[in-house]
Structure 1
Amino acid sequence: MTNLYPDKMAEIYDAMYQSFINYDKEYTFYNNLLQKNNPKSILEIGSGTGNLAQRFIENKQNYTGLDYSKSMISISQKRNPNCEFIHADMRDFNLEKKVDAIIITSRSTSYLISNNDINDTFSCLYNNLNTEGIIIFDFIDANRFIPHIKENTAIIHSAQHKGINYSRKSSWEVSMHDNFLLEWTAKYYSDEIDNTKIIANDYATVRVFTLNEMQLFLYLNHFEIIEIIDRKTYAYDTFVIVAQKKS
Structure 2
Amino acid sequence: MGREFVELFDHWAESYDETVAGKDLEYQEVFMNYEQILHKVADLVHGNVVEFGTGTGNLTQMLLEKGCSVVGVEPSAAMRKIASKKMPHLTILDGDFLSFQLNGPIDAFVSTYAFHHLENSEKANAISKYSTLLTTGGKVVFADTVFRSKDEKEIFIQEAKNKHYLSLAQDLETEYYTTIPILESMFHSNGFSAEFKQLNRYVWLIDAEKL
Structure with the larger strand share = 1
Q: CA deviation at 1:50?
A: 0.5
Paired residue secondary structure (2:187): helix
Whether the 8 Å CA contact 1:43–1:99 is kept in 2: the answer is yes
- Matched with 2:203 is 238
Paired residue secondary structure (1:99): coil
Tell me how far apart the structure 2 counterparts of residues 98 and 155 of structure 1 sit (CA, whole Å): 47
Q: Does 1:209 align with 2:174?
A: no
TM-score, with structure 2 as normaliser: 0.80
Map 1:76-95; keep pairs closer than 5 Å. 76-95=83-102
Paired residue secondary structure (2:175): strand
Paired residue secondary structure (2:167): strand
Aligned residues: 196
Q: Percent identity?
A: 25
Q: Does 1:111 align with 2:114?
A: no
Spell out, residue by residue over 1:121-170, the C-alpha distance to the aligned partner (whole angstroms, 9 max, x if none).
112222332443111113421533320221231576xxxxxxxxxxxx61
Q: Which runs of 5+ in 2 are unaligned?
A: 24-30
Whether the 8 Å CA contact 1:90–1:124 is kept in 2: the answer is no
**Cα RMSD for the two superposed structures:** 2.5
Distance change >3 Å, CA 31–CA 69, structure 1 → 2: same
Q: CA deviation at 1:7?
A: 4.5
Distance change >3 Å, CA 17–CA 134, structure 1 → 2: same
Q: Which runs of 5+ in 1 are unaligned?
A: 157-168, 175-181, 184-204
Whether the 8 Å CA contact 2:55–2:80 is kept in 1: the answer is yes
Tell me which amino acid in the other structure corresponds to 1:243: A
Higher relative CO (Cα under 8 Å, sequence separation at least 6) belongs to 2
Q: Which has the larger radius of gyration?
A: 1
Aligned equivalent of 1:12, options 2, 15, 18: 15
Q: CA deviation at 1:19?
A: 4.2
TM-score, with structure 1 as normaliser: 0.69
Structure with the larger helix share = 2
Tell me how far apart the structure 2 counterparts of residues 76 and 243 of structure 1 sit (CA, whole Å): 27
Q: CA deviation at 1:8?
A: 4.7
